[in-house]
Structure 1
Amino acid sequence: MSIIKNRLFWPSLILAVMLVINMFTSNQFVTIQNGHLFGTLIDILRGSAPLILVALGMTLVIATGGIDLSVGSVMAISGAVACLLISDLGDQNAVGSVLLIIGVAIAASLVLGLWNGALVAFVGIQPIIATLILMVAGRGVAQLITDGQIINVQSSPYATLATGFFLAVPVAFLIAAAAVALTLLLTRRTALGLLLESVGGSPTASRLAGISARRITIMVYVVAGGFAGLAGLIYSANIKSADSISAGNLIELDAILAVVIGGTALIGGRFSIAGTVLGAVLIQTLSVTVVAIGIPPEANLLFKAVVVVALCLSQSPDFRAKVFGRFQSRPAVEKPAVEKVVTP
């Protein structure tokens, strides 16, 4: 019973069920071709990499009691900057130049995260409003960078971010796994995780305790911007172009959903990195499963919403108590003993 009460039990169960469905519906679930892993499972891992990166940054932001709605626009800007600079190269396959451009794009994303953090920590704007500004304006900035066009690139080193393999495993997934490992190391092996939860639980109390709440707040928005920028690079490398309209469109909603599924409190003060990763993989698996079982495309979003609602309800202790509690056997109520009245 203790396992069932765990918040991650139901997401893990649903993920396992969907993987089993894909195992029987797909022609190749996992296979090896030319020394590389291929199949539906590998497609799920590769496709979930951008969402894992964005959801990681979102987890840290939400842990401090904030929110970041601009991650999709940051993805678009990052991909636009990278593809624009690569398209201007004389040799798009020059590894050194491509790596430098990737660094420039990530640096731009960090600056955008710093902008969000400054608005929240120093100006005092509510996080949802501060990041909404960049969410709207950032998409316009991305379109200005690309001049409203789709910039195509033919760079093999750049495409490696999304389609390359290392030790038979997709590079995109390895990048996401490295980000997860680094985040876990910094938040669970150092005092950083406790500081994040302190700021999210009570910014005033943490400030009185000597914790620099502003510094922590700025840091998490910068990290979220960097992760979103890296996700934007993977997305644009996958399609070998910069699409400022479609890149990262509504990914912030999936990221928030992954964070909630993973058990992070939206009010701040409690977060789960492992739960976020599980939520991101579950969302990507759900998208693949919908196609695998033949659900019409026009019903995809509705089916996804139904599954998500059922999942969230199954995680609610109050809902489980109301639904399953009535089926539990109740102890028999002993009738009080009736005293006999003796008449003289």
Structure 2
Amino acid sequence: MTSLHTQSEASVQHRQGLPRALMQRQWFAPLGALLLIILCMGVVSPDFLSIRVVDGHLYGSLIDVVHRGSSAALVAVGMAIVIGTRGIDLSVGSVIAISGAVMAVLISETELPPWLIILAAVGSGVLCGLWNGVLVAYLEIQPIISTLILMVAGRGIAQMITGGQIVTFHGEFFEAIGSGYLLGIPWRVLIAAAVILALWLTMRKTALGLFIEAVGGNARASRLAGIDSRGITLLAYVISGVCSAVAGIIIAADIRGADANNAGLWLELDAILAVVLGGAALMGGRFYLGATVIGVLIIQSLTTGILLSGLPSQYTLVVKAGVVLLVLLMQAPEFRRSMAAVLRRRQHED
């Protein structure tokens, strides 16, 4: 009897601890906020939840959220890795403009094969990442200043590449990247998902993710432990540059041209916000790629939903900021402790 009673008591404790265990998961608050936002937008605008198939392609606001958020997700995961090293990358928008300019000029003025053009565009992102990484890791210039240099100069570099003009191009391969579909799913979503999945596997299934978090937590201690903290920091900025370059390729392919002034403009702010919504610490030491992607979907869902609701454009940013504040409140340790205490009291009362 005692054994049965003990097993029953353990089972009850396990069930009671499940809500608290879920609340402690890093993805719980962002995912809960995303689902709540989607439901609220569905109530305000029922069309927001409708998904239909037209000409073999998936259409609907939810599909548009994922479609439009793919490039921002690429930038955000790169930003998350940099923030994990206790850094920041303000140049991602300029890198998008540079890579898009390189791709557009090569398509319109040369006969190079598509794979070589893409390689050149991604290579421009690698060079930008190396520039930022050398300034931060080896010259020990503050990350916000180092990347601000390229943020300012990058737009000028992109304009020099395009000659100060909006360069347009035509090509089935690149147009498919921007607006094509595979089995009803946009190509840009598949590309972004493949890159993000590869990064997640690299960060969580190898030692690289631990090295990045170690460098962000304490660079000096990581060096004493035998970690090449400078090399890891340099690699983080290169990864961010590659992610931004791929996003630039997608954006340029979508508009079939390169706009050095507006491509990726202020996207670095949404990327940083998505990383914060994902629960990463801006002081470094921890980052979450999956939760960062959820943060991007939160931002994009708000933007799409508010536009569909017919709310005047001047209220969009205010509503967006208010919802973000609520999500951050849900992630605050003190708020979580208070909610856990409320759950415990209710369980004892039951």
What TM-score do you get using the length of structure 1 for normalisation?
0.89
SS at match of 2:314: helix
Which position in structure 2 is the counterpart of 1:334? none
- The 3 A distance-change label for structure 1 pair 27 and 219 is closer
Aligned residue in 2 for 1:19: 38
Q: Is the 8 A contact 1:22 1:40 kept in 2?
A: no
Q: What SS class does the counterpart of residue 50 from structure 2 fall into?
A: coil
2:205, 2:344 → 1: CA distance? 42
CA distance in 2, matches of 1:217, 1:126: 12
Relative to structure 1, is the Cα distance of residues 174 and 322 closer, same or farther in structure 2, using a 3 angstrom cutoff?
A: same
Q: Is the 8 A contact 2:81 2:240 kept in 1?
A: yes
In structure 2, the partner of 1:151 is 167
Aligned to 2:108: 87
For residues 126-151 of structure 1, give each alpha carbon's deviation from its aligned partner in whole angstroms, at most 9, with x where no partner exists. Answer: 11110000000001111121222111
What is the identity percentage for the equivalent residue pairs of Structure 1 and Structure 2?
A: 45
Separation in 2, partners of 1:308, 1:189: 31
What is residue 142 of structure 2 aligned with on the other side?
Answer: 126
2:330 aligned partner: 314
CA contact (8 A) 1:203 1:213 kept: yes
Between the aligned partners of 2:344 and 2:242, the Cα distance in structure 1 is: 49
- More helix per residue: 2
Q: Which amino acid aligns with 1:80?
A: A
Kindly report the root-mean-square deviation, in angstroms, between the aligned alpha carbons of the 2 structures: 2.1
Query: Does the residue aligned with 1:26 lie in a helix, a strand or coil?
Result: helix
Indicate whether 1:71 and 2:92 are aligned.
Answer: yes
Aligned residue runs from structure 1 range 1-344, under 5 A: 1-2=19-20, 3-23=22-42, 24-26=45-47, 29-89=50-110, 97-319=113-335
What is the CA deviation profile of residues 49-86 of structure 1, one whole-angstrom value per residue up to 9, with x for unaligned ones? 11110011111111111110000000000101111111
Conserved 8 A contact 1:21-1:289: no
Structure 1 residue 27, shift from structure 2 partner = 7.1
Give the Cα–Cα distance (whole angstroms) in 2 for the partners of residues 247 and 319 of structure 1: 38
Matches of 1:315 and 1:57 in 2, distance apart?
22
Counterparts of 1:72 and 1:139, CA distance in 2? 9
Contact 1:163 1:172 in 2 (8 A): yes
Whole-angstrom distance in 2 between the partners of 1:54 and 1:148: 25
Larger Rg: 1
Residue by residue over 1:156-215, the C-alpha shift from the partner in whole angstroms, topping out at 9 and shown as x without a partner, is 211111211112211111111111211111111111111111111110011011110111
CA drift of 1:311 comes to 1.3
Report if the CA contact (8 A) 1:25-1:292 is conserved: no
CA deviation after TM superposition for structure 1 residue 294, in Å: 1.4
Alpha-carbon distance between aligned partners in 2 of 1:6 and 1:105, rounded to the nearest angstrom: 38
Q: Is the CA contact 2:23–2:336 (under 8 Å) kept in the aligned structure 1?
A: no
Q: Secondary structure of the residue that 2:113 maps to in structure 1?
A: helix
Aligned-partner Cα distance in 1 for 2:48–2:206? 45
Q: Which moved more, 1:156-165 or 1:105-114?
A: 156-165
Partner of 1:93: none
| Kept after mapping to 1: 8 A contact 2:48/2:62 | no
Cα distance in 1 between the residues matched to 2:181 and 2:82:
31
Q: TM-score, normalised by structure 2?
A: 0.87
Matched-pair contact (CA < 8 Å) for 1:46–1:162: no
CA distance in 2, matches of 1:239, 1:34: 22
Tell me the number of residue pairs that the alignment of Structure 1 and Structure 2 aligns: 325
